[in-house]
Amino acid sequence: MKRGLARRSQALVEFALLLPVLLFMLIGILEFGRILFIYVNLFNSAREGARFGMVNPLNPDQIRQRVLDQVILVDPDEVNVSVNYDTGPGTTVFYTPSQLGPGARIRVELEYEIYPITPLFQPFAPEGYLVSLISARTIQATSTGTGGGGGGGEPTATPVSPTETPAPPTATPTATPVPTSTPTPTPTRTPTVTPTPGGATATPTPTPITLLPIVINEPVNPNATQISGTAHPGYQVTLRIVQTGYQATTWVQPNGTFTFSDIPAGNLQPGYTVLVQGYGQQDLATVAGNTPTPTPSPTVPPSPTPANTPAPTATPTSRYVEIIPNCGPTGNVNLTLTWGSWPAPSGNIAKFALLLNGSQKLTFAYSTSGSLNTTLGTMNSGSNTILIKTIKSNGKNSNPYYEYTVNYISPCGVTPTPTTTPTPSPTPVGYPNLIVQSVTLVGPPPPLGTFRPVTVQVTIKNIGTADIVRLFWVDLFTDKANPNPYVDASVDYVAVNGLPANTAISFNMVIPYGFATLGEHDIVALVDTWNQIAESNESDNLSTPLTVLVEVDNPQPTPTPTVAVPANPGGIAGKTFIEGTPQGNVSVYIYDAGGRLVWSGLSDSNADYNTGLRLAPGTYTVEGRARLLVGGQERLYRAITTNVVVNPNVITTGTNLMLQEL
């Protein structure tokens, strides 16, 4: 009896020792199986979205919903799905369907954080496992018949103003219908005679209409709330206020007049430049008043800044980091870092990390603004790079991720050796200097055809020694060897709100109507178009011409402007947010049910936008877009809200746009 009892006791002890191991293995198998199942499901969801998108590439919302409909076992709201396009592995990724051409691919990007469900395994993965998937398929068909420059078919979308660069996020693939009661014959480049039944007299193809010039009504008074003028009826025109970056778009009425209303206070000050562009024409006016147009002041003084003396800078308008002093001796230097306007804590942002010349020196708690006095380490002779970035509590990069770069120069008064081609003359210390590094063709792929949109990528760089913390413009011109913005209308433009020293940024620009004639054409980009930035060299802002060859003679589309005279108009209003934080200066675009752009503007300093009573009753799509510079790299943010109903004589409020990084 005692021996049997001893054996049973021994078995119980052995079982007690092995049970935790068995349970750990069993739970591990369950956890691994769950993670594998979720991964396979997400992978198949991305593939399903790409398969759907290869025949429906112009409907990113439907593609995204198709992906989320396939997701199981996880909350679809926590799955981040991005839809974009490219022309093959390793090529430039773009987000506007208007750039699609032969050989383009639809790309579905998917991200999701998988967390263990059992407390036993949670300590092993406190930050979860990030699943990141990309599925791409070559586009087989488009619902609007868009194609490359070599296509011979007529475009079905109604043309819009050359300044309207964003492509509409159409919820439906149909183009704006042309009224069938008065069909407009399409002129060709060479007039042809079309025989009619019964031997009737042949009718020559009509010639394109002559468009009326754009004229701004003057004077434009300070602190006015509206700007009016005359232009060709039925077309869209866009207002730019150069100094503030304000933009708005409106229709020219049947009587040939246009009015930009509800201009926010502070946008029309004495001496400011007002520009109205549309259908390849423009007009400028200067706001009346005794104050002349202000001459931009340098970001920092032209003379060397003594060590331990704060350098006066312009008031930052977006996320920034400053160091005091920004120049001085080599070796260990005591610095004061000041930062502000960073996003509110979100996601798993826990700390800041500081890196000197690529080596991490210290970490400290994250905050939207503050200051820190520290000695980072040994400063080298020349330019030293100080990087501040957001990290998780475990030291890994946060999600979302932000960074910013500043420079410390040693000793004061010495220009660091530039990383680009040296300029013939020395660059003064303390000035920025903007150049256009390159203009390259993005699409469509050659051969190019007439009257087809052309997309180029423009790269600009601040090769100076001072950060730029204010807005400046980049304009695109065609067939202009030395464009004058006061006379020549640009085909596209981008507002850039700041650029750190020794930093480059790239973005796409569009020639919406392409070229009207065969042969070679030149494309140039001009940075700091209106000389708003005081630079060390003001003569190197123009790019080297990009020469493109147009070989395919497409028929010229007939302009079919639709005059917008809504009866009992309503409107849309709301706020713009970037990753949960109110953000102003966001571009807002509103499209009608046919995908046509009917209003555009910017949210104000309080992150509010308001169209006023100017939209016809109906259903609209509202899109928000923003470009932010994070650590010298451009990041694009976007939000789309569909099925926004506008009722007569009512402004639909609360249409908020929650922008997320693409």
Sheet of 492-499, strands arranged across: 448-449, 546-552, 519-527, 468-478, 492-499
For 395-450, the DSSP string reads SSBPSS--EEEEEEEESTT-PPPPSSPPPSSPPPTT---EEEEEEEEEESPSSEET
Q: Does one domain contain both 124 and 78?
A: yes
Q: Are 455 and 508 in contact (CB under 8 A)?
A: yes
Determine the pLDDT at residue 304. 37
Half-sphere exposure of 236 toward its Cβ, with a 13 Å CA cutoff?
A: 19
Please indicate, yes or no, if residue 22 is contained in any of the structural domains.
yes
Cβ-in-10-Å burial (0-12, 13-18, 19+) of 572 comes to: buried
My answer on whether 133 and 22 are in the same domain is: yes
Q: Is residue 373 part of a domain?
A: yes
Mean pLDDT computed over 521-550: 90
pLDDT tens figures, 119-153 = 776 676 666 778 888 998 888 765 433 333 333 33
Torsion region of 531: left, alpha or beta (phi above 0 gives left; psi -120 to 50 gives alpha): left
Residue 416 lies in a domain: no
**Gyration radius of the chain's alpha carbons:** 29
pLDDT-derived band at 380 (thresholds 50, 70, 90) equals: confident
Q: Rounded mean pLDDT of 524-545?
A: 89
318-333: b (≥16 Cβ within 10 Å) or e: bbbbbbbbbbbeeeeb
In the chain, how many domains are there? 5
What average pLDDT does range 218-229 have in this prediction?
89
Residue-wise pLDDT tens digits, 572-621: 999 999 877 888 878 888 888 866 667 777 788 788 998 888 788 889 99
Structure tokens at 64: 């995204």
pTM over 0.85, yes/no: no
In a domain, 346, yes or no: yes
CB 613 within 8 A of CB 651: yes
Specify whether 520 is located in the same domain as 487: yes
User: Between 404 and 454, whose confidence is greater?
Assistant: 454
Strand order in the sheet with 129-138: 80-86, 105-114, 129-138
Judgement on whether residues 494 and 525 belong to the same structural domain of the protein? yes
Q: Is the omega angle on the peptide bond into residue 302 within 30 degrees of 0, that is, cis?
A: no
Residue pair 530/610 in contact by the 8 Å Cβ criterion: no
Does 132 lie in the same domain as 28?
yes
Question: Exposed, middle or buried: residue 438 (CB in 10 Å: 0-12, 13-18, 19+)?
Answer: middle
Question: Per the domain annotation, does 175 fall within a domain?
Answer: no
Structure confidence at residue 421 as a pLDDT band (50, 70, 90): very low
What pLDDT does 227 receive?
92
CA distance 325 to 412: 10
pLDDT of res. 521? 93
* Residue 346: count of CB within 10 angstroms of its CB: 12
pLDDT for the residue numbered 630 = 62
Domain end among 292, 312, 329:
292
24 and 130 both lie in a single domain: yes
Residues 382 and 455 in one domain: no
CATH number, domain at 626? 2.60.40.10
Tell me, yes or no, whether 587 and 524 share the same domain.
Answer: no
* Residue 330 placed within a domain: yes
Secondary structure (3-state) at 276: strand
Rounded mean pLDDT of the chain? Answer: 76
Q: Quick one: 537 and 444 in the same domain?
A: yes
Does residue 455 sit in the same domain as residue 538?
yes
317, 496 Cβ separation under 8 angstroms: no
What per-residue confidence (pLDDT) applies to 478?
92
Domain boundary, last residue among 357, 377, 410:
410
Local structure of 17: helix, strand or coil: helix
Q: Is residue 178 part of a domain?
A: no
Q: Of 121, 138, 155, which residue constitutes the final position of a domain?
A: 138
Q: Does any domain span residue 297?
A: no
What pLDDT is stored for residue 230 in this prediction?
93
pLDDT > 80? residue 95: no
Assess whether 438 and 531 both reside in one domain.
Answer: yes
Q: Is the pLDDT of residue 334 over 70?
A: yes
Is the pLDDT at 1 greater than 90? The verdict is no
- Residues recorded for the chain: 662
pLDDT recorded at residue 522: 93
Quick one: tokens of 423?
Answer: 């300029």
Around Cβ 444, how many Cβ atoms within 10 Å? 26
Distance separating alpha carbons of residues 76 and 69, to the nearest angstrom: 8
Confirm if 248 and 600 have CB atoms less than 8 A apart.
yes
Instruction: Name the phi and psi angles at 66, rounded to 5.
Output: -60, -40
- The pLDDT value given to residue 149: 35
Same domain? For 392 and 471 the reply is no
| CB 357 within 8 Å of CB 385 | yes
**What is the mean predicted confidence (pLDDT) over 35-56?**
89
| Domain limits for position 36 | 18-138
- On the question of pLDDT at 416 being above 50, the answer is no
Spell out the residues 6+ positions from residue 75 whose beta carbon is closer than 8 angstroms to its own: none
pLDDT digits (tens, 9 = 90+) for 226-275: 899 999 888 888 888 888 778 787 888 888 899 998 787 777 888 888 88
**pLDDT for the residue numbered 311:** 36
Mean pLDDT, rounded, for 24-45: 87
Percent of the chain with pLDDT over 70: 76
pLDDT bucket at 463, cuts 50 / 70 / 90: very high
